[in-house]
Protein backbone atom coordinates (compact mmCIF):
# COMPACT_ATOMS: atom_id res chain seq x y z
CA UNK A 1 0.00 0.00 0.00
CA UNK A 2 1.21 3.48 -0.76
CA UNK A 3 2.58 5.49 2.11
CA UNK A 4 0.28 8.01 3.72
CA UNK A 5 1.69 11.46 4.34
CA UNK A 6 0.38 14.13 6.69
CA UNK A 7 1.20 17.64 5.48
CA UNK A 8 0.54 20.59 7.77
CA UNK A 9 1.32 23.91 6.13
CA UNK A 10 -0.59 27.15 6.47
CA UNK A 11 0.60 28.69 3.20
CA UNK A 12 -2.26 27.29 1.16
CA UNK A 13 -0.57 27.63 -2.22
CA UNK A 14 2.60 25.94 -1.03
CA UNK A 15 0.57 23.21 0.67
CA UNK A 16 -1.34 22.57 -2.54
CA UNK A 17 1.85 22.46 -4.60
CA UNK A 18 3.55 20.00 -2.26
CA UNK A 19 0.37 17.91 -2.01
CA UNK A 20 0.15 17.57 -5.80
CA UNK A 21 3.82 16.62 -6.06
CA UNK A 22 3.41 13.98 -3.36
CA UNK A 23 0.28 12.60 -5.03
CA UNK A 24 2.07 12.40 -8.37
CA UNK A 25 4.75 10.33 -6.61
CA UNK A 26 2.00 7.91 -5.65
CA UNK A 27 1.58 8.87 -1.99
CA UNK A 28 -1.72 9.35 -0.24
CA UNK A 29 -1.80 12.80 1.35
CA UNK A 30 -3.82 14.42 4.15
CA UNK A 31 -3.48 18.17 4.40
CA UNK A 32 -4.20 20.56 7.26
CA UNK A 33 -3.59 24.31 7.34
CA UNK A 34 -3.26 24.83 11.07
CA UNK A 35 -1.75 23.00 14.00
CA UNK A 36 -4.92 21.85 15.76
CA UNK A 37 -6.44 20.48 12.55
CA UNK A 38 -3.09 18.78 11.93
CA UNK A 39 -3.18 17.12 15.33
CA UNK A 40 -6.71 15.85 14.75
CA UNK A 41 -5.79 14.55 11.32
CA UNK A 42 -2.68 12.85 12.68
CA UNK A 43 -4.82 10.97 15.17
CA UNK A 44 -7.51 10.03 12.68
CA UNK A 45 -5.50 9.32 9.56
CA UNK A 46 -2.58 7.41 11.11
CA UNK A 47 -0.03 8.69 8.58
CA UNK A 48 3.30 6.98 7.91
CA UNK A 49 5.21 10.25 7.94
CA UNK A 50 4.47 13.88 8.80
CA UNK A 51 5.71 17.05 7.14
CA UNK A 52 5.07 19.94 9.50
CA UNK A 53 5.65 23.61 8.90
CA UNK A 54 7.32 25.14 11.94
CA UNK A 55 5.28 28.36 12.05
CA UNK A 56 1.60 27.46 12.10
CA UNK A 57 -1.42 29.26 13.48
CA UNK A 58 -2.87 27.76 16.65
CA UNK A 59 -0.31 25.13 17.41
CA UNK A 60 3.23 25.42 16.04
CA UNK A 61 4.78 22.56 14.09
CA UNK A 62 7.15 22.12 16.99
CA UNK A 63 4.36 21.82 19.53
CA UNK A 64 2.44 19.54 17.22
CA UNK A 65 5.50 17.31 16.93
CA UNK A 66 5.90 17.28 20.71
CA UNK A 67 2.26 16.27 21.18
CA UNK A 68 2.54 13.49 18.63
CA UNK A 69 5.61 12.14 20.40
CA UNK A 70 3.97 12.41 23.82
CA UNK A 71 1.24 10.06 22.60
CA UNK A 72 3.84 7.54 21.46
CA UNK A 73 3.68 8.31 17.74
CA UNK A 74 6.93 7.09 16.21
CA UNK A 75 6.47 8.16 12.59
CA UNK A 76 9.22 10.23 10.98
CA UNK A 77 8.62 13.96 11.30
CA UNK A 78 10.14 16.45 8.87
CA UNK A 79 9.97 20.09 9.94
CA UNK A 80 9.81 22.86 7.36
CA UNK A 81 11.66 25.86 8.71
CA UNK A 82 12.38 29.36 7.56
CA UNK A 83 16.03 30.21 7.34
CA UNK A 84 15.98 32.39 10.44
CA UNK A 85 14.53 29.60 12.56
CA UNK A 86 17.41 27.30 11.82
CA UNK A 87 19.20 28.42 14.95
CA UNK A 88 16.45 26.60 16.83
CA UNK A 89 17.32 23.21 15.37
CA UNK A 90 18.00 21.91 18.85
CA UNK A 91 14.48 22.84 19.93
CA UNK A 92 13.15 20.82 17.00
CA UNK A 93 15.26 17.82 17.89
CA UNK A 94 14.14 18.09 21.50
CA UNK A 95 10.55 18.07 20.30
CA UNK A 96 11.25 14.81 18.49
CA UNK A 97 11.63 15.93 14.88
CA UNK A 98 13.78 13.69 12.68
CA UNK A 99 14.72 16.10 9.98
CA UNK A 100 14.62 19.63 8.69
CA UNK A 101 14.02 21.09 5.30
CA UNK A 102 14.83 24.77 5.07
CA UNK A 103 12.52 27.08 3.13
CA UNK A 104 12.65 27.86 0.31
CA UNK A 105 13.32 24.24 -0.61
CA UNK A 106 13.40 22.37 -3.89
CA UNK A 107 10.61 19.84 -4.15
CA UNK A 108 13.16 17.21 -5.20
CA UNK A 109 14.97 17.69 -1.92
CA UNK A 110 11.78 17.26 0.09
CA UNK A 111 10.75 14.18 -1.92
CA UNK A 112 14.19 12.67 -1.40
CA UNK A 113 13.94 13.15 2.36
CA UNK A 114 10.47 11.64 2.42
CA UNK A 115 11.72 8.59 0.50
CA UNK A 116 14.74 8.22 2.75
CA UNK A 117 12.69 8.36 5.95
CA UNK A 118 10.08 5.96 4.66
CA UNK A 119 12.78 3.54 3.56
CA UNK A 120 14.52 3.79 6.91
CA UNK A 121 11.26 3.18 8.71
CA UNK A 122 10.37 0.24 6.52
CA UNK A 123 13.42 -1.90 7.16
CA UNK A 124 13.01 -1.05 10.82
CA UNK A 125 16.76 -1.04 11.06
CA UNK A 126 19.21 1.76 11.55
CA UNK A 127 21.48 0.30 8.96
CA UNK A 128 22.14 1.75 5.54
CA UNK A 129 23.87 -0.28 2.86
CA UNK A 130 25.54 0.59 -0.38
CA UNK A 131 27.67 -1.95 -2.21
CA UNK A 132 30.13 -3.22 0.42
CA UNK A 133 29.62 -0.18 2.63
CA UNK A 134 27.51 -0.52 5.75
CA UNK A 135 26.63 2.29 8.14
CA UNK A 136 24.68 1.99 11.36
CA UNK A 137 23.02 5.19 12.57
CA UNK A 138 22.39 3.92 16.06
CA UNK A 139 25.83 2.54 16.87
CA UNK A 140 27.57 4.90 14.43
CA UNK A 141 29.65 2.00 13.13
CA UNK A 142 30.86 1.92 9.57
CA UNK A 143 32.13 -1.14 7.71
CA UNK A 144 33.58 -1.65 4.30
CA UNK A 145 33.17 -5.39 3.80
CA UNK A 146 34.55 -6.86 7.02
CA UNK A 147 36.77 -3.89 7.73
CA UNK A 148 35.61 -1.53 10.48
CA UNK A 149 36.24 2.14 9.72
CA UNK A 150 36.74 4.77 12.40
CA UNK A 151 35.15 8.07 11.48
CA UNK A 152 34.94 11.38 13.28
CA UNK A 153 31.46 12.73 13.99
CA UNK A 154 31.43 15.05 10.97
CA UNK A 155 32.90 12.44 8.63
CA UNK A 156 30.13 10.10 9.73
CA UNK A 157 27.43 12.72 9.18
CA UNK A 158 28.77 13.55 5.73
CA UNK A 159 28.89 9.90 4.69
CA UNK A 160 25.43 9.30 6.15
CA UNK A 161 24.06 12.23 4.14
CA UNK A 162 25.58 11.03 0.86
CA UNK A 163 24.40 7.49 1.59
CA UNK A 164 20.82 8.60 2.09
CA UNK A 165 20.51 9.27 -1.63
CA UNK A 166 22.99 7.21 -3.62
CA UNK A 167 23.72 8.51 -7.14
CA UNK A 168 22.12 11.86 -6.38
CA UNK A 169 24.52 14.73 -6.97
CA UNK A 170 24.75 17.19 -4.09
CA UNK A 171 26.07 20.71 -4.46
CA UNK A 172 28.52 22.03 -1.91
CA UNK A 173 25.77 24.37 -0.68
CA UNK A 174 23.38 21.47 -0.07
CA UNK A 175 26.04 19.55 1.81
CA UNK A 176 27.01 22.56 3.91
CA UNK A 177 23.39 23.28 4.72
CA UNK A 178 22.49 19.72 5.63
CA UNK A 179 25.63 18.45 7.29
CA UNK A 180 27.12 21.58 8.81
CA UNK A 181 23.98 23.68 9.11
CA UNK A 182 23.28 27.23 8.12
CA UNK A 183 25.00 28.57 11.18
CA UNK A 184 28.31 27.34 9.79
CA UNK A 185 30.36 30.43 9.04
CA UNK A 186 33.54 28.86 7.70
CA UNK A 187 34.92 28.18 4.26
CA UNK A 188 33.04 25.78 1.97
CA UNK A 189 36.44 24.24 1.12
CA UNK A 190 35.92 22.30 4.31
CA UNK A 191 33.84 19.86 2.29
CA UNK A 192 36.77 19.03 0.03
CA UNK A 193 38.90 18.41 3.08
CA UNK A 194 36.35 16.06 4.60
CA UNK A 195 35.77 14.22 1.34
CA UNK A 196 39.51 13.67 1.13
CA UNK A 197 39.59 12.24 4.70
CA UNK A 198 36.62 10.02 3.95
CA UNK A 199 38.14 8.70 0.74
CA UNK A 200 41.40 7.89 2.50
CA UNK A 201 39.55 5.89 5.10
CA UNK A 202 37.10 4.22 2.74
CA UNK A 203 39.80 3.26 0.26
CA UNK A 204 42.52 2.33 2.69
CA UNK A 205 42.70 -1.23 1.33
CA UNK A 206 42.58 -0.09 -2.31
CA UNK A 207 38.82 -0.53 -2.38
CA UNK A 208 36.94 1.11 -5.24
CA UNK A 209 36.00 4.77 -5.02
CA UNK A 210 32.48 5.47 -3.78
CA UNK A 211 32.49 9.24 -3.28
CA UNK A 212 32.90 10.88 -6.66
CA UNK A 213 33.50 14.50 -7.55
CA UNK A 214 31.11 15.88 -10.13
CA UNK A 215 33.16 18.66 -11.64
CA UNK A 216 31.65 22.08 -11.20
CA UNK A 217 28.68 20.70 -9.27
CA UNK A 218 29.56 18.77 -6.15
CA UNK A 219 29.69 15.20 -4.95
CA UNK A 220 27.82 11.96 -5.32
CA UNK A 221 27.99 8.47 -3.86
CA UNK A 222 27.97 5.81 -6.53
CA UNK A 223 29.90 2.79 -7.75
CA1 LIG B 1 3.92 28.89 8.14
Per-residue model confidence (pLDDT) at position 62: 92
Mean pLDDT of the chain: 88
Q: For 93-152, how does the pLDDT look when each residue is reduced to its tens digit (9 = 90+)?
A: 778 888 888 888 999 999 999 988 887 666 556 788 899 999 988 788 999 999 999 999
What's the rounded mean pLDDT across residues 172-190? 76
Provide the total of helices (H) and of strands (E) in the chain, helices listed first: 8, 12
CA end-to-end span of the chain: 31
Report percent pLDDT > 90 for the chain.
53
Predicted TM-score (pTM) of this structure: 0.57
CA of 37 to the centre of ligand 1 (A): 14
Helix H or strand E segment including 78: strand 77-82
Q: Which residues contact 118 (CB under 8 A, 6 or more apart)?
A: 3, 48, 49, 76
CA of 31 to the centre of ligand 1 (A): 14
CA of 128 to the centre of ligand 1 (A): 33
Give the integer Cα–Cα distance in Å for 190 and 83: 22
CA of 61 to the centre of ligand 1 (A): 9
Per-residue model confidence (pLDDT) at position 29: 96
Q: For 196-223, how does the pLDDT look when each residue is reduced to its tens digit (9 = 90+)?
A: 999 999 999 999 999 999 999 999 999 8
Amino acid sequence: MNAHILLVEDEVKLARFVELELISEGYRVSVAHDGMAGLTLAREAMPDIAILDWMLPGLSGLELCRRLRSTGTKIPVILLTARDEVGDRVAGLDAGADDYVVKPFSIEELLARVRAHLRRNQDGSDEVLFEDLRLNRRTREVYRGQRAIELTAKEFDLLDYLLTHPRQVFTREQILENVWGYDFMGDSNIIEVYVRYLRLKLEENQESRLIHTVRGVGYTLRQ
